[in-house]
Amino acid sequence: MPSNKAVSAPGYARDTPTRPTVWPGNAYPLGATYDGGGTNFALFSEVAESVELCLIDEDGTESRIALDEVDGYVWHAYLPSVHPGQRYGFRVHGPFDPAAGHRCDPSKLLLDPYGKAFDGDFDFGPALFSYDMAAPDSDTLPMIDSLGHTMTSVVINPYFDWQSDRAPRTPYHETVIYEAHVKGMTQTHPGVPEELRGTYAGLAHPAIIDHLKSLNVTAIELMPVHQFMHDQRLLEMGLRNYWGYNTFGFFAPHNQYASQRQPGGAVAEFKTMVRTFHEEGIEVILDVVYNHTAEGNHLGPTINFRGIDNAAYYRLDDNDPRFYKDFTGTGNSLNARHPHTLQLIMDSLRYWVTEMHVDGFRFDLAATLARELHDVDRLSAFFDLVQQDPIVSQVKLIAEPWDVGEGGYQVGNFPGLWTEWNGKYRDTVRDYWRGEPATLGEFASRLTGSSDLYEATGRRPSASINFVTCHDGFTLNDLVSYNEKHNEANGEDNRDGESYNRSWNCGVEGPTDDPDILALRARQMRNILATLMLSQGTPMIAHGDEMGRTQQGNNNVYCQDSELSWMDWSLADKNADLLTFTRKATRLRRDHPVFRRRRFFEGEPIRSREQVCDIAWLTPSGREMTHEDWGTEFGKSIAVFLNGDAIPEPDARGERVVDDSFLLCFNAHDDVVEFIAPHSRYAAEWTAELDTTHPTGDGGLVVGAGQKISLPARSLLVLRKTA
């Protein structure tokens, strides 16, 4: 039978000759806070019966200090002798009763949930686990001390010279997001000094920033940089948790991405990186994982939350609290219903905005945060807190609007402040360009900002984060080169990763020397990139797509910390034409507000004197689409007129926005289609600005009203009104 009594760690000695001076301190802020004279420590645990602060010397010697002050379940003390660089942890004495959801184990040196930095590593030996690994179903507590087998928390110096740093605050409708991985982006770049590759400093190097600016990127969205753990299973297979969706430190930048490896060095280096990006007008958005932690299911290690207050921090099975509810597919789900867990999330978000100066967040599996009971609830406590928070509510908030639980697909259902990764945009654009039937209607909706998803909630086109590829799935090159995933390198017999990718290999699976297939693949990549930049909404480019990065058909490189997943910068020369094309497409979007309207199209004249609507949908013959045209099962070709003289919203100075008008000709057919330039009331003359049949998108074609345009198979032509 399990014991529900408090248990004590072996070798405990409350009073020692070296015991430092201890003052009562404060219950707020939580964590370790250095004020220039000493450090305040505060830890929440409602279940604890006593808590010890453990100071760890460089040689591993531990000094334990009882936290005798408790206010509102927060255990605290102030130590005037403790300064930045001090390693520490906690031991929590309380009930070990898995059947009741309690897993206190004072033999474990527990990491600070509010830790700003960490040092050391995990060895994944028996000391990390609060059960007998030979009999995992037993409720016997082995009491093996984890000191020396786990990481330690580190007190940091919060001071940093931000100089004249200012947040760019780029409006959503002017934003172009670039999703990137700190290590993957920099590991092989020849212009980044070797000692800086794979680091925050490397990411802020001029060679990387120049590349981003050449793409007209306004925001870099970093894959997880909160301190995370490499899974034991992966390490035993010779792999690593490359993506980093395995957080245990929600306040600390991941220390392995720091070029300066001294304890706490990652904090200053991260801040320097943000300051440098801001100097160049680029925002920094973090991909954050508040839906689960690295401790996994009931067989996972005890490193912090589990041993501090398991029932408060995690969603437990209502019928058997020894097990965890898992809406994430990772073994556990954070309990966003508990006030202290909500506080942890909100404190973390505010910290990264106020102290680290980041500009926004992309929330991994955000639907999990909204679960009050079983269903996803738009009015959950988390959303209420974000809505009223004067700091968090003012930065970019991007949801991955799904999780793996029942009813977890919530695209279009997030509150007004939020933007969303639009999975429907991704699927529709993929289907259209690979030639799926009956896609015209939905393609039109996605191209114009997905009003069916966002307009009813008062949101604007920018609420749709438009993407076709991201870290999760095929790269753009692989999307047009593989019909099937090829994840054998992951060691799971190709069972992992999405099996339905809406991809098309253009006739041959994988690498080929066939020039016709290679030309078609290159054109398809240009088609997709151009569509992304011409769509209303907020575009996101996956790192490396601009130069044809491949993962050799692996659509789940979460464990591949290798050249398979890193950016191959030699492609910048090998695929120079694609890079040039991408720059041209992003510049076209930047220079023309008609492609980044702040409001949805109305489909009718904005002012009575106008003869032309703000948007018109035309058949290849140049006439306006009818209901029957939209319902054509095999319709693959369409022209779209965008009226630059019918943009209703004013600019930042309140002046009317006037732009050129454009005609977009889409041909997803497998044969040439003859388009006819529409009636002269649209334009008397058109000049090509972007042509996906050309490797670099060069235009130059000039046509008059009523003239024929021969558009090759699977191509896109952008025409600008010039008369």
Determine what percent of the chain falls in helix, strand and coil, rounding each to the nearest 5.
25, 20, 55
Q: Examine the fold and report which residue of 155, 178, 210 is the final residue of a domain before the chain moves on.
A: 155
Which position among 105, 269, 364, 420 bears the catalytic label?
364
Catalogue the E-assigned strands of 200-282.
219-222, 226-228, 247-253
pLDDT at site 699:
84
Where among 110, 131, 155 does a domain terminate?
A: 155
pTM of the model: 0.95
User: What is residue 367's predicted lDDT score, i.e. its pLDDT?
Assistant: 85
Q: Does some domain include residue 473?
A: no
Cis status of the peptide bond prior to 712, with omega within 30 of 0: no
Question: For residue 18, which of 51, 62, 68 has the smallest C-alpha distance?
Answer: 62
Q: Which residues of the chain have pLDDT under 70?
A: 1-18, 372-379, 604-611, 633
Identify which of 363, 180, 369 has the alpha carbon closest to the alpha carbon of residue 273. 180
pLDDT at 635: 84
Rounded-to-integer distance, Cα 545 and Cα 702, Å: 30
pLDDT in tens, 292-349: 999 999 999 999 999 999 999 999 999 999 999 998 889 999 998 899 999 999 999 9
- 3-state SS, residue 589: helix
Q: What is the per-residue pLDDT for 177?
A: 98
Which domain, by its residues, includes 689?
A: 601-721
Residue 429 lies in a domain: no
Residue 42 in any domain: the answer is yes
Whether residue 219 is contained in a domain is answered as: no
- What span, in angstroms and rounded, lies between the C-alpha atoms of 32 and 17? 24
517: nearest Cα among 470, 477, 568, 572: 477
Question: Domain count of the chain?
Answer: 2
Q: Does 15 qualify as catalytic in the annotation?
A: no
User: CA quadruple 389, 395, 398, 403: dihedral positive or negative?
Assistant: negative
Q: In Å, what is the CA distance from 72 to each residue of 27, 28, 42, 47, 77?
A: 8, 10, 11, 12, 14
CATH number at residue 56: 2.60.40.10
Residue of 62, 179, 269, 400 marked catalytic: 400
- Is residue 497 a part of any domain in this protein? no
The pLDDT assigned to 14 comes to 39
Tell me, what's the pLDDT at 379?
A: 57
- The question of whether 210 is a catalytic residue gets the answer no
Report yes or no on 237 lying in a domain. Answer: no
CATH number at residue 679: 2.60.40.1180
Q: What is the pLDDT of residue 18?
A: 60
Is residue 625 one of the residues assigned to a domain? Answer: yes
Question: Can you tell me the distance from the alpha carbon of 697 to that of 333, in angstroms, rounded to the nearest whole number?
Answer: 47
Within 13 Å of residue 528, how many CA atoms lie on the same side as its CB? Answer: 35
Using CA atoms, how far apart are residues 395 and 466, in angstroms rounded to an integer?
19
| Residue 287 near residue 223, CB atoms below 8 Å | yes
Q: Output the CA angle 92-95-318, nearest 5 degrees.
A: 115
